[in-house]
Amino acid sequence: DTGVSQDPRHKITKRGQNVTFRCDPISEHNRLYWYRQTLGQGPEFLTYFQNEAQLEKSRLLSDRFSAERPKGSFSTLEIQRTEQGDSAMYLCASSPSEGSKAYEQYFGPGTRLTVT
């Protein structure tokens, strides 16, 4: 069990550019979640997948944001035409959908995005 990994750990981009983040969940977990966390706040839910199906999207997720999990393994989160307000830590988490740990989400280290 290597844990949830995210890449890159840090990203600095200019306003208007597109960025893409990757998340690799724990291999046996079929649920994958994306959150955004700003300084001094708890994580805010963005979206989640069960296998390759995107089951829910928060209203925080504007049409500039898109997430995919094409083969039910890793996931990508893309932000188009970045704005300074997008600067935040983007967290990925995974969990199983069954069993005693079904309600436990395991988080990656996050990708810190800075939009200049």
Site for another protein in 38-77 (CB under 8 A): 40-45, 48, 55-56
Of 28, 84, 98, 103, the one binding another protein by CB under 8 A: 103
Binding of another protein by 106 (CB under 8 A): yes
Residue 86 is given by DSSP the state: G
In whole angstroms, how close is the CB of 81 to another protein at the nearest point? Answer: 27
Rounded alpha-carbon distances, angstroms, from residue 2 to 52, 87, 109: 21, 28, 12
Q: Does the footprint of another protein cover residue 25 (CB under 8 A)?
A: no
Length of the chain: 116
Measured between alpha carbons, how far is residue 45 from residues 15, 17, 33, 116 in Å? 23, 23, 8, 24
β pairing state of 111-115 and 10-13: parallel
Which one, 108 or 115, has the nearer CB to another protein?
Answer: 108
Nearest distance from residue 20's CB to another protein, in Å? 19
**Contact in structure between 31 and 97 (CB atoms under 8 Å):** yes
Number of residues that bind another protein (CB under 8 A): 22
If one asks whether residue 114 binds another protein (CB under 8 A), the answer comes out as no
4 lies in the binding site for another protein (CB under 8 A): yes
Question: By three-state DSSP, how is residue 85 classified?
Answer: helix
Q: Binding residues for another protein, per CB under 8 A? A: 4, 6, 33, 40-45, 48, 55-56, 91, 93, 103-110
